Amino acid sequence: MKNDPAENQESIKAIPEPTLRRLPIYYQLLKSRLNAGSSEISCTTIADALHLTAIQVRKDLEITEASGKPKVGYNIKELIAAIENFLGWNSKSEAFLVGAGNLGSALIGYQGFKEYGLMIIAAFDNNPAKINTSVYGKRIFDIKKLSDMVRRMKVSIGILTVPAQYAQESANLMTEAGIRAIWNFSPTKIICRPDIVVQHENLACSLAVLSKKISEVAARRIS
C-alpha cells in the first residue's frame, strides 16, 4: 500500500511543501531573467543564482511537468507558464478580507497579489468608523454583510487579519457563509472543519524562529 505506485485513489502525489515554497522563488528569478532578455536557462544557472544545487532545482521543476532540452536548459517562457499552471496562478481567484487594520489595509494595497491571480475584491470590519470607507479603492463593508456577499458573489477565499480574540469567530463566520479557504494572518491558531483549507501566516511564529537563530548565532560568537 505504501510502495504501490498505482494508488489510484487520488493519483495526486503529495507535493513536498519545501518544493512548493521554492517554486515562487524560481518564478521570480525567471521573470527577472526574461525581462533581462534571456530566453533559455539551465538548472545549473538557476541553482547558482539561488545558492541551491542543480539536482534540487531539476527535481523541483520536474513536478511542474516542464520539459527542458539537454545542453540548453528550459525555455523561460514555457517554464513560467508551467509554474503558473501548476500553482493555478493563471486563473483569477477572488478573495474577501476580514479585518481592515494596519496589516489588512497593507494587504489590500499590496500590488503583488494580482501577479499571482489573487484579487481582493472587498474588505469587512466591525468598526463603525471604517465601515463604508475605502482603502486603496476597495470598499470596507460591515462584517454583518459578509455572509450575504459570500453567497451572492460566490467568493471562496478569505483573508483573515483580525486580532487574536476575534480570529476564531471570524473564521466561523467565513466558513458558515461558504468560504472554502482561509489565509490566516492573525496571531492565533484557528480550528476549522476538515474540508476547509487553512493556511497560517503567523508573524509571531516566524519571529520565534528568527529570535532563536539570532540568539544561537550570538552564543556561537562568544564561544
Partner DNA sequence: CCTTAATAGATAAACTTATATCTATAAAAT
Partner DNA sequence: ATTTTATAGATATAAGTTTATCTATTAAGG
**Which residues in this chain contact a second copy in the complex, by CB under 8 A?**
10, 12, 15, 17, 20-25, 27-29, 32, 50-51, 86-89, 93, 102-103, 105-107, 109-110, 112-113, 116, 118, 136, 156-157, 164-165, 180-181, 183, 187-189, 191, 195, 197, 199, 201-217, 219-220, 223
Closest separation in Å from C-beta 51 to a second copy: 6
Question: DSSP alpha helices (H): ranges in 36-145?
Answer: 43-50, 54-62, 76-87, 102-109
Counting other chains too, the contacts that 44-47 makes at CB distance below 8 Å and 24 or more residues apart are 44/73, 45/73
Q: Using the rule CB under 7 A, which residue among 38, 55, 203, 208 binds DNA? A: 55
Q: Smaller CB distance to DNA: residue 32 or 132?
A: 32
> In this structure, what are the phi and psi dihedrals at residue 32, rounded to the nearest 5 degrees?
-70, -35
61 is a contact residue toward DNA (CB under 7 A):
yes
Q: Which of the choices a second copy, DNA, none does residue 2 contact, using the CB cut-off of 5 to 8 A by kind?
A: DNA
Whole-angstrom distance, CA of residue 198 vs CA of residue 188: 12
Interacting partner of 118 out of DNA, a second copy, none (Cβ under 5 to 8 A depending on kind): a second copy
104 binds DNA, rule: CB under 7 A: no
Q: Give the cell for residue 115.
A: 501577479
54 counts as binding DNA under rule CB under 7 A: yes
d(CA 220, CA 111): 40
Q: Quick check: 40 and 52 in contact, CB under 8 A?
A: no
Number of residues binding to DNA, judged by CB under 7 A? 26
74 binds, among DNA, a second copy, none (CB under 5 to 8 A by kind): DNA
> Is 14 among the residues that bind DNA (CB under 7 A)?
yes
Residue 65, CA distances (Å) to 80, 82, 87, 122, 214 in order = 12, 7, 12, 35, 39
